[in-house]
Structure 1
């Protein structure tokens, strides 16, 4: 992969066409001035040491050197070679409920937006850890495979909306089973599955999936978000009207804490209630810190290698060549020619 570390210097190349125009304008003016003295062919014999081609050669050599200097300042680099490195950390799969009930606003600004902000701050605390994201509603799919690329993790997080999944429901079991398959095969690494959900319209099978994860050494932390008292679901973010059932009644969504606690218990983890404070974030960070850390093998890009040395040598050679080429013909060659004619 090729790139320029400081591409702004490439704007210097804008002056190249201008220099070419000025050079040829100068050539034109010189020819016009010669014509004022007489026939160019006759004047040519009066100036035997003046070379017709050498000034152009010197100009193009100097112009080439200028182009290469601009490229040199832009710092051309090659890289992108994959390399395995050892990092000390844990592996975390975050499962985010994106069903329509997560649009409820019993936590500010909404359950889903509160969850996304919590995940973003959690990712900011990671250091040499791996993280992946799964979104689920009536079904689950991987939004981000497990990685150490935290920038991509936050970028994918911003794009998450309930529109990603049309099938409604809360398939926590499917999210857990998909998480189990998403971890690396390295042994003795602390692994956590973080489930952020209101637990409503639970599809079933979550407890069995949580037991399976616990047997494989994974700990499940369930973050229950919302109010047990319930809240209406807006018809979109910030809407003044709420979703209604087939009979015209406003739908009230409630946090299913009992189910969340049961999953966390059999998953050898902990249940944490998410409210409008930051207490859930602190508690979760404490739990993640307790997990065993081990060197985790990661694939990362090697740093880009600077390639300016080759260009610098070419520039130096061109400048020396430009200095050695004289604009006038060498009288020595003229004497040699006369000597041969004699």
Structure 2
């Protein structure tokens, strides 16, 4: 089936009627100037070399060439390669990017270790569809479920506390957003990997976990940090963050919450110790969930036809260049 790859270029066609209207205004202005002169013979003498019909033809051809170039940029294409059948799970990764993830009880930071886990996991589950949600005060969809792991790594590298406008640790909202990304008709082959220090004190997270369990989603949680806590550095000042009363903030790992979420969904909880062990255990847990077959069109091949439009535009411009703007002088016989 034919379709345009970059449909946003097609909006450029909307400017063509505007250009045609401006051309009409120019012609109307010329008529008014001629009428203002008043003497028809004088006007005829002044415009004896002007060819109004050719002038309109040249403009029309230029307009057609511009339209063809816009269509070429939009790239009309047809799929020539079929979809690839693959087997895997649907895995939504929920990554905490709150300021508390900058604590240094894990070197260099909790967030750096979390990214290392996710990156290694992406390498070990090449056939699974993955999505990425980052959260702090609110949850944000970075990438929906896709087999494009290279794109997932790109979004992962860019994730930081600066990626979100509000701070906090809204685990419940992140779990609810993840639920929306899954196929609710399928009650298995779906998993959430939640990576956080668990500093969430609202009641939404356990409720959201229960809802996910009802949809057949298994939540595996990974806790980063220490129960005793650590200071949170402020990148702007280099000092430790303080609360409104001037006391230094200590960020503590909330293991009980993460264990509760995992238990409610028949998942697993791991306290981060080292990347290899965490990823190995997580990969084992995911592999025990079985796999589903799905069609992957990320690697489909397409045949493009943009060059036909560009060659046509070039041909039209050549014709436009050959059309004389002035009247041809008649030679005496």
Instruction: Give yes or no for TM over 0.5.
Output: yes
How many angstroms apart in 1 are the aligned matches of 2:210 and 2:202? 16
Distance change (3 Å), C-alpha of 1:276 and 1:131: same
Looking at CA atoms only, which structure, 1 or 2, has the larger radius of gyration? Answer: 1
Contact kept, 8 Å, 1:170 with 1:203, in 2: the verdict is no
1:248 matched residue in structure 2: 246
1:282 matched residue in structure 2: 280
1:291 matched residue in structure 2: 289
How far apart are residue 240 of structure 1 and its match? 4.2
How many angstroms apart in 2 are the aligned matches of 1:282 and 1:302? 32
How far apart are residue 293 of structure 1 and its match? 0.5
1:162 matched residue in structure 2: 161
How far apart are residue 186 of structure 1 and its match? 6.2
How far apart are residue 268 of structure 1 and its match? 1.4
**Superposition pairs for residues 231-242 of structure 1, below 5 Å?**
231-236=230-235, 240-242=238-240
How many angstroms apart in 2 are the aligned matches of 1:204 and 1:82? 49
Deviations 1:46-72, CA, capped at 9 Å, x for gaps: xxxxxxxxxxxxxxxxxxxxxxxxxxx
How far apart are residue 204 of structure 1 and its match? 2.4
1:121 matched residue in structure 2: 120
Distance change (3 Å), C-alpha of 1:292 and 1:208: same
2:106 matched residue in structure 1: 107
| Contiguous gaps of at least 5 residues in structure 2 | 6-76, 306-333
How far apart are residue 246 of structure 1 and its match? 1.8
1:150 matched residue in structure 2: 149
How far apart are residue 291 of structure 1 and its match? 1.1
**Superposition TM-score, scaled by structure 2 size:** 0.64
SS of equivalent to 1:300: coil
1:176 matched residue in structure 2: 175
Distance change (3 Å), C-alpha of 1:87 and 1:276: closer
Distance change (3 Å), C-alpha of 1:186 and 1:303: farther
How far apart are residue 276 of structure 1 and its match? 4.0
How many angstroms apart in 1 are the aligned matches of 2:274 and 2:252? 16
Contact kept, 8 Å, 1:93 with 1:194, in 2: the verdict is yes
How many angstroms apart in 1 are the aligned matches of 2:82 and 2:134? 30
Deviations 1:242-288, CA, capped at 9 Å, x for gaps: 11112222111000001110111112101111124532121111111
How many angstroms apart in 2 are the aligned matches of 1:296 and 1:303? 18
How many angstroms apart in 1 are the aligned matches of 2:99 and 2:79? 41
How many angstroms apart in 2 are the aligned matches of 1:82 and 1:261? 46
How far apart are residue 299 of structure 1 and its match? 2.6
Contact kept, 8 Å, 2:113 with 2:275, in 1: the verdict is no
Contact kept, 8 Å, 2:105 with 2:225, in 1: the verdict is yes
How many angstroms apart in 1 are the aligned matches of 2:184 and 2:174? 19
How far apart are residue 115 of structure 1 and its match? 0.4
2:137 matched residue in structure 1: 138
1:227 matched residue in structure 2: 226
How far apart are residue 79 of structure 1 and its match? 7.0
How many angstroms apart in 2 are the aligned matches of 1:251 and 1:79? 58
SS of equivalent to 1:278: helix
2:189 matched residue in structure 1: 190
**Superposition TM-score, scaled by structure 1 size:** 0.63
How many angstroms apart in 1 are the aligned matches of 2:134 and 2:142? 6
How many angstroms apart in 2 are the aligned matches of 1:146 and 1:81? 24
